[in-house]
Amino acid sequence: MDSITIEMKDFLLSIEEEKLKSQLKAIRKMRGKDVEEEKVVSTSIKSMSQIEMVYNILYQSKTPMHITDIIDKIKELYGKDVDRESIVSSLVKKVAKNDCFCRTGKNTFSLAKIGK
């Protein structure tokens, strides 16, 4: 396996891990257990870049999202405030390189089709 494949595998596994953590939290909340908001952010979330957060959110949504909704979701899931202009700039650069993201409308983004 080359290093890019290993990195992609690790990245996708970290996304799955975060999805499972969210699901477990929701289940505990539905069961009526006292679910206190996590004050200690896991190392994987701490080291996650803004683009990785956007990827994770778009992957979970499976539909295009407006940047405002993406930013709101980052705040909700990761407790992070992100600069709108910075994240849009990063996404536009990725779109221009055909790197993982595509633009579906004004300030609306989705994941590019795999194998495109």
The CA dihedral of 64, 93, 68, 36, to the nearest 10 degrees, is 90
What pLDDT sits at residue 36?
A: 45
Question: Domains in the chain, ordered, with CATH?
Answer: 3-111 (1.10.10)
pLDDT more than 70, % of the chain: 81
pTM: 0.60
Q: Backbone phi, then psi, for 62, in 5-degree steps?
A: 60, 10
Residues 6+ apart with CB under 8 A from 81: 75
What pLDDT sits at residue 29?
A: 78
The residue ranking higher by pLDDT, 84 or 112, is 84
For the segment 1-18, the average pLDDT, to the nearest whole number, is 77
* pLDDT digit string, tens, across residues 12-63: 888 888 888 888 877 877 877 554 444 334 445 567 889 989 998 998 888 9
